[in-house]
Each structure stands twice: as structure tokens, then as C-alpha cells.
């Protein structure tokens, strides 16, 4: 572990199945930095809404859930923990019920507003304790950390993304078929890209990285090159770096 080697924020945005989570976590571990999975936060609010019997498309009811949700998430890349109250929900939030409802919940402006405040606090805390953090999501480079030292927008063909998601689901014991996953990936992309509140879109100053023909190590190597080009290792963070 090279504690504190990264200084500042790396924003990793892009649709699901681009390898974002695996890359973000490994990158953070390699650089001794914090790691924040913002999708897990939207998923946890979604789980709370579903458990309360709230219709995910009812904006007011979903907003009330988000206002009172007892959500906590750690920024340790090796032992990530997501809690709803005292309960660890890291596995349940990846299940089908949450995956089907999360785009509707994350389209609610009040939910985004509330989670934005939490995410910015977590980022500031991690920068203070680790020196830097890798943050993954859909609006990190555009809304959450617009001054991030490095922004990477990951893409991949829809086929490659569906294949990766199916492999991941199967490996983690969830029932999965390529066709159903492709439909789900396409549906969520459509919703995430077309929503009015901070839609999935690349920041103007993001570096695009097409991962269709790259393995995880290939993606990591390219991002580490960018980290070194920008001299983000071992330098003190200047004011306004994120
Ligand atoms: O990264 P993920 O698949 O776990 O994210 C789940 C959903 O949360 C995704 O469909 C869109 C939403 N999301 C978002 O709107 N903004 C973020 N920063 C992260 C995720």
C-alpha cells in the first residue's frame, strides 16, 4: 500500500459495464487513495424506498425517504461497507429489484441534491485523510467534483458492457442472461442519459477512454499514464484542486 500517493480527486464517469467499479477500486488501492462508489449511494436510497413500499416514480415520496435515510458508506477501497441503519446492504443493493428501480430514484432532483452534499463531504474527508480519492459515478466530473485533477469518461460498446455485466452477475451468484442484461443496460443508459437532473454526460475536459478492447490492466495502465502526465502522485494538493 502506498498510502497518500495520490493527491486530489480522480473522477471516473460512464455507463455501467465499462469496468468503472473494478478500475476505480484498484486504482485507489494502487495509489493509496480513498474510493467512493456513488452508485452504491443511489442504490441504498432505492432499497430504502422499496422497503418502505414507495413507488420509485413518486418524486415526493422518494425525496422524503432520501431526507431521512440512515445511509453510510466507507471510502476504504479494500473494505468498502455500505450500511442502511446498522445493516450491511452491499449485496442486496446489487440485486434485481434495486437495479430495476434505481434509475427512477436517481432521476429525482431532491435525491441528487441531498446525495451531492453527502458525496462532497465524503470527498473532502477522504482528501484530508488519504490525500486523494477516486470517485466513480455518472456526474462526478460535471457536478460533484467539477475541479477534479483528472476526469476520465469510460465507454464501451453495448455488447461488451452486457457481456461484462452478465459475467459479473454470474460470478457473484445472481441469475443472469445476456439478453436480459443487454436490455437492462440499454434501458438504464437511456434513462440515466435523458433525465433532466444532472444526466450522465462527459465533462468537457474529460479524457475519453474506450474500454471495449481493453482488459482491466489495460485501462489501469492508461489511467496511471494520465496520473503521471499530470503529476498527481506525491505532490501536495493545491487549493481548489477539486
Ligand atoms: O454505478 P451503478 O450501476 O451502481 O449506479 C446505479 C444507478 O445509479 C445508475 O443507473 C445511475 C445512478 N447513478 C447516478 O445517477 N449518478 C451517479 N453519480 C451514480 C449512479
The model's pLDDT over 81-120, given as tens digits with 9 standing for 90+, comes to 999 999 999 999 999 999 999 999 999 999 999 999 999 9
Q: Ligand 1 within 6 A of 38 CB?
A: yes
Q: Is the CB of 165 under 6 A from ligand 1?
A: no
pLDDT digits (tens, 9 = 90+) for 3-59: 468 999 999 999 988 889 999 999 999 999 999 999 999 999 999 999 999 999 999
> What pLDDT does residue 1 have?
41
User: What does the radius of gyration of the chain's CA atoms come to, in whole angstroms?
Assistant: 17
pLDDT over 60 (residue 239): no
> How many CB atoms within 10 Å of residue 237?
17
Angle at which helices 178-194 and 158-171 cross, to 10° = 120
137 Cα: distance to centroid of ligand 1 (angstroms): 6
167-195 pLDDT per residue, tens: 888 888 888 888 888 888 888 888 888 88
**Could you tell me which of 93, 96, 140 has the C-alpha nearest to residue 120?**
140
What is the structure's pLDDT at 240?
44
Please give the Cα distance from 157 to 103 (Å, whole number).
Answer: 20
Q: What is residue 242's predicted lDDT score, i.e. its pLDDT?
A: 52
Cα angle for residues 155, 4, 73 (degrees, 5° grid): 60
Q: Please tell me whether residue 56 adopts helix, strand or coil conformation.
A: coil
Ligand 1 pocket test, pick from 16, 42, 162 with the greatest ligand atom count within 8 Å of Cβ, gives 42
Q: Which atom of ligand 1 is nearest to the CA of 144?
A: 18
Q: Which of 38, 47, 108 maximizes ligand 1 atoms within 8 Å of its Cβ, making it the mutation to test the pocket?
A: 38
Joined grid coordinates for residue 208: 475519453
Alpha helix positions (H), the chain: 20-30, 38-51, 59-68, 96-106, 109-130, 158-171, 178-194, 216-229
Question: Cα of 106 to ligand 1 centre, how many Å?
Answer: 7
- List Cα–Cα distances, 208 to 1, 43, 160, in angstroms: 28, 26, 17
Domain boundaries in the chain? 8-229
Nearest residue (by CA) to ligand 1, atom 13, is 39
Name the CATH superfamily for 8-229: P-loop containing nucleotide triphosphate hydrolases (3.40.50.300)
Amino acid at each position: 500500500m502506498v498510502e497518500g500517493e495520490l493527491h486530489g480527486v480522480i473522477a471516473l464517469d460512464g455507463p455501467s459495464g465499462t469496468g468503472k467499479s473494478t478500475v476505480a477500486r484498484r486504482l485507489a488501492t494502487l495509489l493509496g487513495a480513498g474510493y467512493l462508489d456513488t452508485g452504491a449511494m443511489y442504490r441504498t436510497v432505492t432499497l430504502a424506498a422499496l422497503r418502505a413500499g414507495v413507488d420509485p416514480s413518486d418524486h415526493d415520496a422518494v425525496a422524503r425517504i432520501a431526507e431521512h435515510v440512515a445511509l453510510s458508506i466507507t471510502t476504504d477501497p479494500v473494505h468498502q461497507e455500505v450500511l442502511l441503519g446498522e445493516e450491511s446492504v452491499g449485496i442486496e443493493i446489487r440485486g434485481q429489484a434495486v437495479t430495476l428501480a434505481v434509475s427512477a430514484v436517481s432521476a429525482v432532483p431532491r435525491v441528487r441534491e441531498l446525495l451531492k452534499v453527502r458525496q462532497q463531504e465524503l470527498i473532502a474527508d477522504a482528501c484530508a485523510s488519504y490525500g486523494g480519492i477516486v470517485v466513480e459515478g455518472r456526474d462526478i466530473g460535471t457536478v460533484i467534483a467539477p475541479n477534479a485533477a483528472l476526469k476520465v469518461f469510460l465507454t464501451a460498446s453495448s455488447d461488451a458492457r452486457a457481456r461484462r455485466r452478465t459475467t459479473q452477475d454470474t460470478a457473484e451468484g445472481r441469475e443472469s442472461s445476456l439478453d436480459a442484461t443487454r436490455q437492462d443496460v440499454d434501458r438504464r443508459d437511456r434513462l440515466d442519459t435523458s433525465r433532466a437532473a444532472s444526466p450522465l454526460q462527459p465533462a468537457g475536459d474529460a479524457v475519453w477512454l474506450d474500454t471495449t478492447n481493453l482488459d482491466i490492466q489495460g485501462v489501469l495502465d492508461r489511467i496511471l499514464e494520465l496520473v503521471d502526465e499530470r503529476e498527481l502522485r506525491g505532490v501536495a494538493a493545491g487549493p481548489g484542486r477539486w
